[in-house]
A and B are shown apart, each in its own frame.
Chain A
């Protein structure tokens, strides 16, 4: 093996442990929450933390379906999807949710995740209220009703709205038309002086004030007996713009933060117990190589977790299950190697030759079997949604890392250990002291001859 390998492996271990340690506890060498580098014009400023999925930290998830039949023929659906996502993004930013997720699923669906948000009704409003503001005027043909202007006067060209309080200390939303819409607003006040006009949101009346003076600018207010929160939300919705197309909730889920925390604790216990059981078993069954496998397993756990924090991989319940499962699988490559090692030793080879032969012989099995699992994980990741994706990602990363630890780290440790004379006793490897070849059943073919 290359002489640089041990150093590289050790360096990766130190780096992984450094990434794994929660940053708030120490700030060496940089006083920043992660990796901060500045070399000339190039700077990296990546925060390192464990990202927990909605099911673990609580929050709301919605899958929205666009009503594609509203999209004019010839217009691209993904384009509308992107516009809708931009509007939702602006709305959510106005709420101050940390780390929201707004993603397209296919062409006509949108995934919205709002960590820490508890109010399903509010989440629903944010994601599906079209927020089309329109001013309607009295319909002369049908008294008592209102009609749209031609073309409709909508909230498309507005300065940012804001909330103030009127003389009765009621919250009101202030708006101001810009450009030609401001002129139309002034003209409207002349045409319909002393008549009511209707302010509607998504076709529903919010208020119908009577125009008492001719306006001099594009300004106006919306009064609607709101609470302060309602006024703020209305203002936010108008400012973020209207959704280009109606959206419908086709999947929703909501997890209470306390229940999420409970799941995290349970998963941690499950992971620790699983790891301990495997470690105990390996030590008892394989002795010295078992100890090496346990070291490799710890290395594997530290490195995988570091990758989760670096990428970052959002950990969900299913994702943690995938990770715990991959601990079991990470052992397999070690088992394959050790079983081969035992066989080679039994066939009378020296320890050094047996270690090298064991590695060579076990490699194809390890490679192909890992490939099969990675293949499955890739398909699950590609075709799955939500939960399944999380599982596939952690399983895939886990198997890839376990391949690395089994092929490089375990081998390196084995080669290192056999340098010590005191650790070269065959009993330490679970094999009897040198003995002639075991008597075999007559029908049994001869095993691989010594190379």
Chain B
């Protein structure tokens, strides 16, 4: 069984673009909704014995001085978002909820001051930047035997890593735009994990290319890449499948608070597998083709 996954690279690039472009569009128009961790404010997760009307809930919060409160029904209860509440105010609010809707009303609350959220954003950006730099170095080191061309493998890995991050961010921007899905520090964690995974997958393919290049000196690059991808195809698909299984279990049974986290990881893992099979090595191949063409042009008299 042999597919020509290298020759048809433009088709695969096109498919990636079809996924990424709408996502980037929604990212650009501000589809990605920051959670309270990143913009400050309060989030109350309320579990009722019998769920009241949202209007009734809204009226209660308005009477407590929070007319901006937005009740939103979720699996198992209602989430209410307001501006930052101080602990004393929060304690009062919880009491008011219990007084009105029964003592069995359960409230989980989480409040982040806007000043703190700025720091959390900085941390998120810092960790993504640091992770990317270290991963480039790791790849360059892992493929040091390629000499200078190790960098083109490194850059190809980075592009496919950015591809996966863009897919996840884009889909969450779309989800945020239409369904008000918010992103929090767990989402950042998911993106970083996806980055790690994507590189993990790409390294396995590149490692094979390296081995086959060593064993077949003088062979053209494209067939070697194609063959290497075929050799690692089963592994890539099976590994992703097992991870997808565990993530599906987490998504379906893990409870509401980890659901979006599991979803982000699911999207990222699938995208990571796709990009490691259909994008990463194809970039290396493209690079070689462009280089060959340039060299050819330089050698051919005009």
Write the residues of chain A forming the contact surface with B, with a CB cutoff of 8 angstroms.
Answer: 55, 62-63, 65, 119-121, 123-124, 248-256, 258-259, 262-263, 266-267, 269-271, 273-275, 277-278, 281-282, 285, 317-318, 321, 324-325, 327-329, 331-332, 335-336, 339, 343, 361, 364-365, 368-373, 375-377, 379-380, 382-388, 391-392, 395, 441, 443-449
Contacts and interface: CB of A to CB of B under 8 A. Distances in A.
A370 B201 CA distance: 10
Contact of A252 (B111, B189, B204, B255): B111
B108 A256 contact: yes
Interface stretch (B66-74, B163-171, B244-252, B294-302): B244-252
B88 interface: yes
Nearest to B37: A251
Given A270-B250, A328-B243, A65 B115 contact: yes
Contacts of A444: 2, 223, 226-227
B192 A380 contact: yes
Contacts of A385: 120, 123, 185
Contacts of B127: 379-380, 382-384
Given A274-B245, A336-B235, A124 B88 contact: yes
Interface pairs A-B: 8 shortest CB-CB: A376-B196, A328-B243, A124-B87, A274-B246, A274-B249, A250-B113, A328-B246, A253-B110
B130 interface: yes
Contacts, number: 239
B249 A443 contact: no
Contacts of B120: 385
Given A325-B265, A372-B135, 13 more contacts: A65-B116, A251-B116, A252-B87, A262-B255, A278-B245, A281-B242, A321-B258, A336-B204, A365-B207, A369-B203, A372-B196, A386-B185, A447-B231
A270 B110 contact: no
A386 B120 CA distance: 11
A339 B243 CA distance: 17
Given A119-B91, A252-B111, A263 B242 contact: no
Contact of A325 (B47, B126, B234, B246): B246
A270 B254 contact: yes
B175 interface: no
A368 B142 contact: yes
Question: Which of B94, B113, B189, B246 gathers the greatest number of chain A CB atoms within 10 Å?
Answer: B246
Contact of B235 (A273, A328, A335): A335
Contacts of B196: 372-373, 375-377
A275 B247 CA distance: 11
B293 to A, nearest CB: 21
A281 B87 contact: no
A266 B185 contact: no
A324 B130 CA distance: 25
A214 B249 CA distance: 75
Contacts of A371: 138
A445 B87 contact: no
Nearest to A367: B142
Contacts of A329: 243
Interface in B188-235: 188-189, 192-193, 195-197, 199-201, 203-204, 207-208, 211-212, 215-216, 219, 223-224, 226-227, 231-232, 234-235
Given A369-B200, A373-B196, A377-B196, A388 B245 contact: no
A138 to B, nearest CB: 32
A271 B207 contact: no
A382 B254 CA distance: 26
Nearest to B196: A376
Contacts of A65: 113, 115-116
A379 B116 contact: no
A369 B110 CA distance: 37
B261 A267 contact: no
A168 to B, nearest CB: 30
A148 B250 CA distance: 61
Interface residues of B, number: 79
A52 B201 CA distance: 33
B186 interface: yes
B131 A379 contact: yes
Contacts of B248: 274, 277
Interface in B74-121: 86-88, 90-91, 94, 106-113, 115-116, 120
Contacts of A248: 113
B252 A270 contact: yes
B90 A120 contact: yes
Given A254-B109, A270-B253, A446 B261 contact: no
Contact of B227 (A259, A270, A277, A445): A445
Contacts of A249: 86-87, 111, 113
Contacts of B113: 65, 248-251
A426 B211 CA distance: 26
B29 interface: no
B22 to A, nearest CB: 28
14 contacts: A65-B113, A119-B91, A120-B91, A249-B113, A250-B116, A253-B111, A321-B258, A328-B244, A328-B247, A385-B120, A395-B193, A443-B223, A445-B219, A447-B227
Contacts of B87: 62, 120-121, 123-124, 249, 252
Contacts of B204: 336, 365, 369
Nearest to B261: A321
Given A121-B88, A317-B257, A328-B242, A445 B235 contact: no
Contact of B200 (A121, A327, A372): A372
B246 A278 contact: yes
Contact of B212 (A62, A324, A387, A445): A445
Contact of B135 (A318, A375, A388): A375
A388 B196 CA distance: 15
B197 A373 contact: yes
B174 interface: no
A343 B234 CA distance: 11
Contacts of A278: 242, 245-246
Contacts of A448: 211-212, 215
A280 B193 CA distance: 26
A448 B255 CA distance: 48
Interface in B246-275: 246-250, 252-255, 257-258, 261-262, 265
Nearest to B218: A445
Contacts of B185: 384-388
Contacts of B227: 444-445, 447
Contacts of B246: 274-275, 277-278, 324-325, 327-328
A282 B242 CA distance: 9
A257 B106 CA distance: 9
A270 B108 contact: no
Contacts of B215: 446-449
A274 B262 CA distance: 13
